[in-house]
Structure 1
Amino acid sequence: MRLSICAVAATLFTSTIAAPTSKFDSLANTSEESESEIVRRDGGDGKYFHEPGGDNTLGHYDKRYFHGVVSDEERRDTQKHMVRAYLDFFRKNDLDTWIAHGTLLGWWWNGQRLPWDFDLDTQVSGATLHHLGEAYNQTNHSYTSDDEQVKRTYLLDVNPWIWQRERGDGMNIIDARWIDVRNGLFIDITGLSETHPDSQPGIWSCKNYHRYRTDELYPMRETMFEGVIAKVPYSYDKILTDEYKESALVNTQFNGHEWNPNAKIWEKTEETLRQEEEERKKKEEEEKKKTVEQAQMA
């Protein structure tokens, strides 16, 4: 972990949570829901979760709650409170979950989200995933911030294809989502399962080919993320370098942002700010021109 978050590192301690169980990891033939029933629920294309578009922006909203692309400020505010509500819900209900992928990388730098990320990623064990499906699917969860200034509602939606623990046709690699019903932004939740215990014992994988050894994941470490208690895998450094290479842990410029070592945050570069200002002015001019044209036609 970077020296810049040594205060966070100092709070890390090994969790007593046991290694994942394979109790629910061989359910390919035990689903109580038939494939025809699933097809009726997902709209007939085999995919359960749908987004309003396929690019890096529109691909990170749930189509059911999408009302338009939000501003960067609203997205950051949404993500901050969304992940706090998510982590608090799992902790209060004694359910295991941990931050993963780009969200884990953001934690490594400063215990916060990467400011350019459009979604957040977490993982759960296969046992927890199926418990979510049985006990919490399609449930709404209210959230109030500590200062009582922010009140939100989130939907926990579990994909009915969770019993399929290998990639399949690739349409349902996301197992569940924690969705802000105001704007459709979400946290992706994926389960890890020991899919081949006979030939590959102790190897846990998701449907997107991410694989981990038991001793890389467990025992989990507790830390802080976005101001609340969170868990990260035991070998978080190895997991990050395996997924993103070592350069992601040392490069201080990325995606129009630059690392500020004094403030310990990622900030937009001057070039990025200049481009955004030009785009803002261009949009204002186009809207003004449109207003004039409409007035002339009236």
Structure 2
Amino acid sequence: MRNLVRTYLSAFNELGIETWLMHSALLGWWWSKQLRPQDLDVSMHISEADIFYLASYYNVSTFSFKNPGIPRATRYLLELSPYAKDREQADQLHPADARWIDTKTGLFLNVYAVRYNLSRPVGEGRLRRLSCKDGSEMVDTDLFPLRVTIFEGVPAKVPFCYRELLAMEYGAEALEGSDDTL
């Protein structure tokens, strides 16, 4: 899973796709700047504009990376859902907009596009509501501007209000005892 995350972050950085950690990956970053040992379901977020870009130019593309400690390069497949461009969740069993897949092991991480929620009213102070197919909801000022950091030894980004988002998802007690440094 660590190689999966490292190669995903590196590839998306090379493609100019702005991606950021969410859910358990963000919690792992909070505690150790790494995945937690129990993380088997990793989710990353990207913008709606970037999912359209990937759908247009990179669907079913393979990427090759030389990972430390592995003699030969590993190939990864970027596969977009047929519903990636749809705002609504059409596939209840597989809501991810894309997957980054290790072609040798079959391990994958899910990629979700974050979209402005047109059905929800603009919030207090003209805050714009965002949502994605993994059920996440937030306001745009919770995410942007993204903060640059390191995760699993490679450059990564996290939401601007990472502490508040983690507390909403996992409870404040899940954050107690960390030194909270980017």
Q: What TM-score, normalized by structure 2, do the two folds share?
A: 0.88
Pair 1:115 & 2:37 matched: yes
What residue in structure 1 maps to residue 169 of structure 2?
A: 243
**Structure 2 residue aligned with 1:212:** 138
Identity in percent: 35
Give the unaligned 5+ runs of structure 1. Answer: 1-78, 253-298
> Residues 2-151 of structure 1 correspond to what in structure 2 (within 5 A)?
79-145=1-67, 149=71, 151=73
Report how far residue 164 of structure 1 moved: 2.1
Q: SS of the counterpart of 2:84?
A: helix
Q: 1:243 to 1:157 in 2, by over 3 A?
A: same
Aligned alpha-carbon RMSD (Å): 2.2
Q: 1:177 aligns with which of 99, 102, 125?
A: 99
Shift of 1:249: 1.5
Which secondary structure does the structure 1 equivalent of 2:116 belong to?
Answer: coil
**Deviation beyond 6 Å, 4+ runs, structure 1:** none
Letter of the 2:110 partner, please give it: D
Q: How many pairs align?
A: 175
Q: C-alpha deviations, 1:58-94, integer Å up to 9, x for none? A: xxxxxxxxxxxxxxxxxxxxx1111111111111121
Task: Specify the alignment match of 1:75 in structure 2.
Answer: none
Distance of aligned partners of 1:243 and 1:145 in 2 relative to their CA distance in 1, 3 Å threshold? same
Contact 2:102/2:108 (CA < 8 Å) preserved in 1? yes
Contact persistence 2:150–2:156 (CA under 8 A): yes
Q: CA–CA distance in 2 between the matches of 1:180 and 1:143? A: 10
Counterpart CA distance in 1 for 2:48 and 2:109 is 17
Determine if contact 1:124/1:191 at 8 Å carries over to the other structure: yes
Q: Which has the higher strand share?
A: 2
Tell me which of 228, 234, 237 is aligned to 2:160.
Answer: 234
Q: In 2, distance between residues paired with 1:187 and 1:181?
A: 12
SS across alignment from 1:160: coil
Match 2:75 to one of 116, 135, 153: 153
- Which residue of 128, 135, 148 maps to 1:202? 128
Name the structure where helix makes up a greater proportion of residues: 1
1:133-158 CA distances to partner (integer Å, 9 max, x unpaired)?
A: 11100001000136774521100000
Aligned counterpart, 1:189: 111
Q: CA contact under 8 A between 1:144 and 1:151: conserved in structure 2?
A: yes
Query: What is the match of residue 68 of structure 1?
Result: none
Gaps of 5+ in 2: none
Distance 1:106 1:211 in 2: 20
> What is the rounded CA distance, in whole Å, between the counterparts of 1:80 and 1:172 in structure 2?
23
Asked whether the 8 Å contact 1:167–1:208 carries over to 2, the reply is no
3-state SS of paired residue (1:115): coil
SS across alignment from 2:145: coil
User: Which position in structure 2 is the counterpart of 1:271?
Assistant: none
